Amino acid sequence: MISRIYSRFCQTLPAPEGSRGLLVAFSGGLDSTVLLVLAARFAREHGLALRALHVHHGLSPNADEWVAHCEGVCQQLAVPLITARVQLQRGSGDSLEAQAREARYQSLAAHLGEGEWLLTAHHQDDQLETLLLALKRGAGLRGLAGMVPSQPFACGLLLRPLLEVSRAELADAAATLPHGWVEDESNQDTRYDRNFLRQQLIPLLKARWPAMAQTAARTMAICAEQEVLINELAESDWQRVGEGEALRIAPLHALSAARRNNLLRYWIRRQGGEMPSRELLGLLWQEVALARDDANPRLGLQGLECRRHQGRLHLVAPDLAPREEVLPIRLGEAIPLPDGLGTFRLWSSGGEGLRAPRADEPLSIRFQVAPGSMLKPTGRGGSRRLKKLLQEYGVPSWLRGRIPILYYGEQAALVAGLFVCDGFMTPEGGVGWEWRRAAPADGEIYGES
């Protein structure tokens, strides 16, 4: 039995020449024990380094015994074992199940070396559980596609080489091994959704339809192919409709509702947002994209906010508030700006730039001007209020009050990324400036000289 599984195990893995080593997620349970035995054989045959990692969550009174068991199995297989101890916060609002999973993957990511493969023991029955949970959530194709056999992870690859192997096959293989395994008593607690499916629902489904897991796997594979196709379509539409990280609204009208929603989901996902419901997508289109020209609409999207400006849709951080700070700065200094606005730097350039400040003109960075103040950009014939100038320069409303303004004493000399005020430029012996962000978000402005 173990040899048949090993043959399928090898067929699912990439060419071993592409790996710098293997790291096995080893709980000590039945599934991961079989996985570790398979990985040890594969590593020996291909001359690869192999390590196992056990995460001690501290949730079970038997957790220390599990560590001891894992140490014994790894000694028998001559596999180095790493034990990562994590602490979970009861009553934090997140389920312990979700916290444990997050902590587990954080530990695995921290220990995975450059170019290494992380192997996990997810199998065919786990895929069926994943499909049923996705149906419960009302997931789209992305959720119904389930777990993929290979995906980038941390600085290497996450591989699931047992996805086509049933739990029953793994149990038969484990029974032939001398190592034994641990049983997590929490797996019997049907308050957890996965355990309810595993203990109560899936046995009924398999009793009625024995091939349920295999047919579900085929369905998930088809969903995965369809997901690839709609992503390719979305990428093609993005190339025509996207501009920077914004979406131009006019060409969206030419798309069918289904195709437009597909592009909107793609756009939100590529900027790190969570998938919105169909209802929320409808609100985005009706209340933001189709709002009156003089409106300033905004819609919350779980950690992001959709805004409209000059015929384009933007995704920005929510609740971007104007800044009120006054930050002293000196020549040759780079200072951090508040609220993730990056850094601002000044230096003596020797060439064209801002004139050197006088002794009575201390330099500072601010984000506002005094009410009623008028500014005159270099080369313009008259002065205007900052609000009007920002409108002329096309600055979105959510960025106003968040743009660094360099002051000489009590006079604004530079609005970063937009203009230098009249009387502050010099052709030589000047001061250079730079406003830099490590990862600019949509609609943000840079400025330097």
pLDDT digits (tens, 9 = 90+) for 82-121: 999 888 776 555 677 778 888 899 999 999 999 999 999 9
Tokens of 113: 């070396």
- For residue 158, give the nearest of 118, 106, 104 by alpha carbon: 118
| Pair 362, 283: CB distance under 8 Å | no
Tokens of 444: 């943000």
The DSSP result for 370-419, as a single string, is -TT-EE-BTT-SS-EEHHHHHHHTT--GGGTT-S-EEEETTEEEEETTTE
H-helix or E-strand spanning residue 431? strand 431-436
Sheet strands (E) in 260-320: 298-300, 305-309, 312-316
pLDDT of residue 91: 57
Instruction: List residues forming the annotated binding site for ATP.
Output: 27-32
User: Letter for the amino acid at 42?
Assistant: F
Enter the DSSP assignment of 46: H
Sheet strands (E) in 312-382: 312-316, 327-328, 334-336, 343-348, 353-354, 363-366, 374-375
**What angle (nearest 5°) sits at the alpha carbon of residue 297, between those of residues 317 and 314?**
45
Tokens of 187: 């797996």
- Tokens 């984000």: give the residue: 367
Q: How far apart are CA 247 and CA 274, in angstroms?
A: 17
pLDDT of residue 94: 63
Tokens of 151: 């995906």
- For residue 66, give the nearest of 90, 85, 42, 48 by alpha carbon: 85
pLDDT of residue 355: 93
User: Letter for the amino acid at 408?
Assistant: Y
- Tokens 């312990």: give the residue: 96
Domains (ranges, CATH) in the chain?
1-222 (3.40.50.620), 244-316 (1.20.59.20), 327-436 (no CATH)
| Pair 249, 293: CB distance under 8 Å | no
pLDDT of residue 40: 96
The DSSP result for 213-271, as a single string, is HHHHHHHHHHHHHHHHHHHHHHHHHHHHHEETTEEESGGGGGS-HHHHHHHHHHHHHHT
Enter the DSSP assignment of 197: I
Tokens of 168: 């029953």
Handedness of CA 384, 388, 393, 395 (dihedral sign): positive
SS3 136: helix
Residues 6+ apart with CB under 8 A from 268: 274, 275, 276, 301, 304, 315
pTM above 0.85? no
Q: Which residues of the chain have a pLDDT value below 50?
A: 440-446, 449
| Pair 370, 411: CB distance under 8 Å | no
pLDDT of residue 303: 83
pLDDT by residue (tens digit) across 140-191? 888 899 999 999 999 999 999 999 999 999 999 999 999 999 988 888 888 8
Helix%, strand%, coil% for the chain, nearest 5: 40, 20, 40
Instruction: List residues forming the annotated binding site.
Output: 27-32
Largest CA distance in the chain: 88
pLDDT of residue 315: 93
Plot region of 134 (φ>0 → left; ψ -120 to 50 → alpha; else → beta) = alpha
pLDDT of residue 1: 78
Q: How far apart are CA 284 and CA 300, in angstroms?
A: 9
Interhelix angle 2-12/30-46, rounded to 10 degrees, is 70
User: Letter for the amino acid at 184?
Assistant: D
